[in-house]
DNA sequence: GGAGTATGAATGAATG
DNA sequence: CATTCATTCATACTCC
């Protein structure tokens, strides 16, 4: 990630062949740094969803640096793409406010605040159903539970405002 | 990827937590006791895998107590759930004979955790209970995408005759 | 102050 | 493509 050490020297690269059963638990692919570098370069170049052919070729090339299979390349791109998207989505809605240093409330008071407006909403998760047929004619590819509207922005919760009723219920009411 | 960025670029400038990791340097998120408390309460309530927007909301709330990002919440739940499962599995396998190996563990933390887990714990969220398939039943769903036919050959490197040495050059021209 | 542990972070491997 | 699980790495913390 960003602020982490750059000195992670894993013992990767150990794809030794044979060597008597390889006591090492070669459960999953452990890419070498060269392999990672090449893959990252490819990604940076713009490659996001390589075709089967491309995967084959990449795998062949990378096999020079160590054991690798096509599915590893496939998964690598899948994961890399998904995680970059995820990270972007999070950071987008994350940092804006750093109001976290004015006056520290006690834990009980905070919990009380979380209970504000104990709506009988009872959000049990997995029910993100809400009509979105208002704009845009529903394209066939509009299915998917894309509840995560990318333009999800500020959520005003009145952090430091009126609050009483210091119960320790904490029913996730703010969710 | 950008995992090669020096050391701490991040400073968790004082938000003097109630206790816990105050005074820590920078590097990785060090939750305050209040944050941990709230997260644990949420977990106890039954929340195990919060959705993206739930994560964001939780993060927003917890940011009052100190620096926090969405990914921290994400990882927290991920780890907490995984380790509880891991622990449970370990205990399950670890009980071949009913020896009171309680003396060996001798840790109040362990006891506390046992006490914690044995709680009824109603999961109010997409519980995938129903261990119908928990008994092997090797219904092979390992379809392995389209890469079951991996042409990877261990002895034929240098397919394109273009690399002969890990020079990291690799112009990506083979695509 | 080093061993052992708790835990944050990362990622490979899936599944739907 | 979104989400999840398992495993591992890295580090903060605790206790001799």
Q: Tens digit of pLDDT for each residue in B143-160?
A: 445 565 454 444 344 434
Model pTM score: 0.63
* Angle ∠(B25,B31,B37) on CA atoms, nearest 5: 155
pLDDT given for residue B15 in this prediction: 35
Q: Is the pLDDT of residue A71 over 50?
A: yes
* A155 or A57, higher pLDDT: A57
pLDDT tens-digit series, residues A20-37 = 333 345 689 999 999 999
Question: Is it the case that residue A19 has pLDDT exceeding 50?
Answer: no
Cα–Cα nearest to A175, from A132, A139, A131, A122: A122
Is the pLDDT score of A117 beyond 60? no
Mean pLDDT of all residues in chain A?
Answer: 61
Neighbours of B54 (CB within 10 A): 19
- Distance from C-alpha of A31 to C-alpha of A28, rounded to nearest angstrom: 9
Mean pLDDT for A140-154 is 34
Closest CA–CA distance from residue B147 to any residue of chain A (Å): 6
Largest CA distance in chain A: 70
Mean pLDDT value across residues B129-137: 38
Average model confidence (pLDDT) across chain B: 61
Q: Which residue has the tokens 């960025």?
A: B5
Query: Could you tell me where the DSSP H helices lie in A4-137?
Result: 33-45, 52-62, 70-92, 107-114
Q: Do B45 and A171 touch (CB under 8 A)?
A: yes
Q: How many CA atoms lie within 13 A of A41 on its CB side?
A: 15
pLDDT band at residue A136 under the 50/70/90 scheme? very low
Res B88: pLDDT? 79
> Cβ separation of A41 and B170 shorter than 8 Å?
yes
* Residue A60 and residue B152 in contact, taking contact as beta carbons nearer than 8 Å: yes
- How close is the nearest chain A Cα to the Cα of B16, in Å? 9
Q: Which of B44, B46, B72, B39 is nearest to B126 (CA)?
A: B46
Q: Is residue B95 within 8 Å of residue B101, measured between CB atoms?
A: no
Average pLDDT over residues A114-127: 34
Place of tokens 């405002």: A161
Residue A25: predicted pLDDT:
53
- Confidence at residue B26, expressed as pLDDT on a 0 to 100 scale: 62
> For residue B165, is pLDDT > 90?
no
Q: What residue is closest to D3 (Cα–C1')? A: B51
In this structure, is the CB of residue A24 within 7 Å of any atom belonging to strand D? no
Which range (A146-150, B41-45, B125-129) has the least confidence? Answer: A146-150
- Residues of chain A contacting residue B4, judged by C-beta atoms under 8 Å apart: 6
Contact check, Cβ <8 Å, B69/A94: yes
Residue among B88, B98, B87, B75 at smallest CA distance from B131: B88
Residue A6 with chain B: CB contacts under 8 Å = 3-6
pLDDT the model gives residue A138 = 41
Tens of pLDDT, residues B49-95 = 999 889 999 999 999 999 999 999 999 999 999 999 988 776 666 55
């Amino acid at each position: 990630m960003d602020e982490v050490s750059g000195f992670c020297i894993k013992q990767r690269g150990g794809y030794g062949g044979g060597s008597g059963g390889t006591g090492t638990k070669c459960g999953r692919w452990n890419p070498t740094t060269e392999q990672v570098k090449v893959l990252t370069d490819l990604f940076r170049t713009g490659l996001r969803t390589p075709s089967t052919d491309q995967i084959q070729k990449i795998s062949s090339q990378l096999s020079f640096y160590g054991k690798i299979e096509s599915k590893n390349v496939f998964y690598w791109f899948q994961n890399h793409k998904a995680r970059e998207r995820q990270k972007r989505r999070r950071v987008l809605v994350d940092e804006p406010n750093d109001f976290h240093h004015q006056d520290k409330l006690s834990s009980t008071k905070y919990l009380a605040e979380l209970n504000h407006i104990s709506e009988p909403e009872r959000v049990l998760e997995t029910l993100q159903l809400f009509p979105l047929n208002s704009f845009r004619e529903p394209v066939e590819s509009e299915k998917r539970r894309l509840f995560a509207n990318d333009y999800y922005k500020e959520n005003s919760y009145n952090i430091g405002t009126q609050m009483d009723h210091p119960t320790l219920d904490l029913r996730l009411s703010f969710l």
